[in-house]
Amino acid sequence: MSTTFDNGSLGLYLIAGAVILFVLIQSIFFLVKAWKQGKKLGLDKSKLRNAVTSSALFTIPSALSVLATVIALAPALGLVIPWVRLSVIGNLMYETTAAEAAMEAFGHKGGIANAVTDPTVYAGIAWVMTLGICFSLVILPFLAKPLHKKFMAASNKEKVNEDEDEVSETKPKRTIGEFINKFATPAIFIGLIGAFIAVAIAGQGSTKEPKELDGAGVLSVCTLIVAIVVSILLEILVKKLKLTWLEPFVMPIGMIVAMVAAIVLYNVLPADIATLEWRG
């Protein structure tokens, strides 16, 4: 059996197309059911149209994030697997982390910058990306409702305390919902962001020649800085000008601008600076 394969073959696209078609049919089915239920409840057609329009617009930031993630994973995995994974269930942080972890376990050099040409490795990466995210589907039916109640109870308790502005010498016992809401969720998110920052600053890339520009170096740090600066500026705009509609676009815009900046810097900077890597 050949040790190489085409990650953009017609067969893979047909399989991906079938999955995407199923997702689209499912979405249309629930859209029609929701529309009929809205009419049954006596909702005005203009309100129903506004709900559909606002929902469609709300998906644009997510679509931009999906596009950016597909572009990031395409050099290693092609378009098919990232496209399917992110069209069903997934996100930037999980997909890239899972793919890189699987690549490292298989000994694939160069991370997501180098194409995976071994079909066994490719299949293994696809399984890791898919099975890992499936646990959320298994766990949610059992934990979603009780966790939601705890989150709501914690939020309501915090609001009551703020409204009453009570100052107590004895600190009340913190519930599990309050702990998750205040500390666990932000800590997990910060940890994931920290992992990406660490890769950009000190990530080990391929050491083989010619250089693949997949390790920590000038371009990775510049890309990181651009993403951070753009995100901070957009957050300031959102708060100062009260542009609440812009908030969901902050992350995808930051990602896309950073990608464009990396391309521009690679072509503008002197070659010895643009290709400089201290962890290549």
CA distances from 221 to 65, 113, 189, 227, 267 (A): 21, 16, 21, 10, 16
Residues for the chain: how many in total? 280
Contact 48, 39 (CB under 8 A): yes
Cβ-based neighbours of 233, under 8 Å, separated by 6 or more: none
Lowest mean pLDDT among 15-19, 49-53, 211-215: 211-215
pLDDT for res 55: 78
pLDDT for res 22: 92
CA distances from 236 to 186, 229, 232 (A): 20, 11, 6
Q: Give backbone dihedrals phi and psi of 278, rounded to 5 degrees, phi first.
A: -95, -5
Exposed e or buried b per residue across 192-203, where buried means at least 16 C-beta atoms within 10 angstroms of its C-beta: eeeebeebbeeb
Above 50 in pLDDT, residue 1? no
Q: Give me the residue spans of the domains in the chain.
A: 1-170, 203-280
pLDDT, one tens digit per residue, over 70-118 is 888 888 888 888 888 888 877 777 788 888 888 888 888 767 778 888 8
pLDDT, one tens digit per residue, over 151-205 is 677 666 655 555 554 555 555 555 665 666 677 777 777 887 787 788 788 877 7
pLDDT, one tens digit per residue, over 188-198 is 778 877 877 88
Contact 114, 214 (CB under 8 A): yes
Cβ-based neighbours of 26, under 8 Å, separated by 6 or more: none
State the amino acid at position 138 in one-letter form: V
Q: Write out the two tokens for 244.
A: 């609440």
Nearest 10 degrees: Cα torsion 68, 222, 202, 109: 50
Q: In angstroms, how far is CA 218 from the centroid of its own chain?
A: 24
